[in-house]
Chains A and B, each alone.
Chain A
Amino acid sequence: MSSFDKGAVHIFTFCGERFAVDINTGSFLCVDEPSYKFIELLLNGDSPEIAEERIKEIYGDESSGVAREIESLIESGVIFSKSIPYFQSTLMLKSLCLNVSHMCNFSCSYCFAKKGSYGGREGIMSVEVAQKSIEYLVKHSSEAPQLEVDFFGGEPLLAYPLIQETIGYAKKKYPEIKWRFTLTTNASILDKEKEDFLYDNDVSIVLSLDGGRAVNDTFRVTGNGKGTFDIVVPHIRYVAEHRKQSEGYYVRGTYTHRTLSISDSVKALRELGCKFISLEPVVTDNEDISIKESDLEDLREEYEKLAKFYVESGGGREWKFFHFNIDTEAGPCIQKRVNGCGAGVEYLAISPCGDIYPCHQFDGISSMKLGDIFSGIVEDKVQQRFKDANYLFNKSKCATCWARFYCSGGCLANNYRINDDLMEPYGIGCKIQKMRIEAALYVQYRLNGGGI
């Protein structure tokens, strides 16, 4: 047998177990120590015959049958597989982020939106801009059967009447379209009446909360520096209880260099009754809070603790941690996996005054403004940069990365924020992404009964 593609399989250990992932097919295997070594030798360029001799020298009879078992998997295309066909999609608009409020009643120090204003003037979107945005989305979506609108900010519920009106407008004017609304809120003014309206109109909610009181109140504070935990938790509890059976919400926190204990944070959120939880790393150049290379070892330990806790506390059945969602039967197709997040093409963000940006994280960056909702996209060259950057294989570092079909090339805004380059991946973010994929795969292993 000829030599193997060194980039075809990723091997790793997690919680003391050994695993292999076939990069092209996503096949995922738990392997024993001799098998792990055998695959490692193949990846290092040894032939199966030499690799078999080597593991026999190291493991003796324990290695008996390893070569045959692995070679059988290779022959059936489970590992060391060839690449499957994919192509660069012609992305069409299908999703808008309406930044309905460039204001916030909180003053969280890590906020990428610069405490709601995105570095500009505070303001609330007008009814005219919101309705024009809906019309723009429908007009440019090439008759997509379902369209997405996300109410974002700042704190979007400061524009609650506008949100109500916009949802009503979209549904009434375009009843043939399946509308999918989401709202990201700090939950401070999310009372029963608002939640009932959002629920009745099928609006999914992302609720911001970083963990227990001490962690949350480290950064999530009011304008006068007061912690926000006690303000928001009653509202979050109401939503969690109200949506207990129907899903449609996530409690989403941010962790930082100073709040790295994600396993404790998730446990705290579970104790509050949250069933759907997500924690994301802060992305910032602020040295005080940014995740550093030196944090990664601790973070890996945290992911290991969290993965064990997840499995042992009914995760996957009774509750979900977003990063651990890997659907083994109905995950996204390969086309989805190679065509990026869609920023600037499939997905656009609209500021309160109607300016169009590639995504919510680019709001306020004048060089990235694509146009406005009245004149449409006029900066074709800027949009072309996003068309190019969305395709996974246009980013040289991503094209050969083992994790490429899980993150689809990563977040363009993070690349720009950290490296000033859409095409240059944010290195720390990549390392965290890989870590959490390994954790998610380990969870799958455990949920499938563990063992070999």
Chain B
Amino acid sequence: MKHVKVIIKKPFWNIDKSKDCRLCQTPCKSACKTSVTIGNQVCEVKKPIKRWIW
């Protein structure tokens, strides 16, 4: 009997940790304007976006 389901595995480790490109959007400039939503962003090196708001 299985007791645990791993839904997301080590997502913070999926990028080269030595890089510090900060290419992705300034968080407050996205769809919030009054909070910081880095967790809702994507890495634009790994996943370029069409139009750049998400």
Contact = CB atoms under 8 A, between A and B. Distances in A.
Interface of A: 22, 24-32, 34-35, 64-66, 69-70, 73, 77-78, 81, 84-87, 89, 91-92, 94-95, 97, 112, 145-146, 148, 150, 180, 182, 184, 202, 204-206, 243, 246-250, 252, 254, 276, 278, 280-281, 283, 320, 322-337, 339-343, 346-347, 359-361, 405-411, 413-414, 429, 433, 437, 440-441, 444-445, 448, 451-452
Given A28-B7, A30-B5, A247-B53, A331 B25 contact: no
B11 A328 contact: yes
Given A406-B39, A444-B7, A347 B29 contact: yes
Contacts of B6: 27-29, 73, 78
Given A184-B33, A330-B43, A405-B12, A347 B38 contact: no
Contact of A25 (B10, B33, B54): B10
B16 to A, nearest CB: 8
Nearest to A426: B35
B13 A31 contact: no
Contact of B39 (A78, A405, A413): A405
Contact of A246 (B14, B23, B51): B51
Of residues B4, B10, B49, which shows the largest number of chain A Cβ atoms within 10 Å of its Cβ?
B4
A331 B33 contact: no
Interface of B: 1-17, 19-20, 22-43, 46-47, 49-54
B30 to A, nearest CB: 7
Contacts of A78: 6, 9-10
A325 B41 CA distance: 7
Given A202-B51, A280-B34, A97 B10 contact: no
A281 B38 CA distance: 17
A26 B40 contact: no
A419 to B, nearest CB: 15
Question: Chain B contact residues: over half helix, strand or loop, or mixed?
Answer: loop
Contact of B8 (A69, A328, A336, A437): A328
A407 B38 contact: yes
Nearest to B33: A184
A449 to B, nearest CB: 9
B10 A27 contact: yes
Contact of A70 (B1, B4, B10): B4
A206 B33 CA distance: 10
A331 to B, nearest CB: 5
B39 A330 contact: no
B30 A322 contact: yes
A204 B22 contact: no
Contacts of A34: 3
Nearest to A329: B14
B35 A410 contact: yes
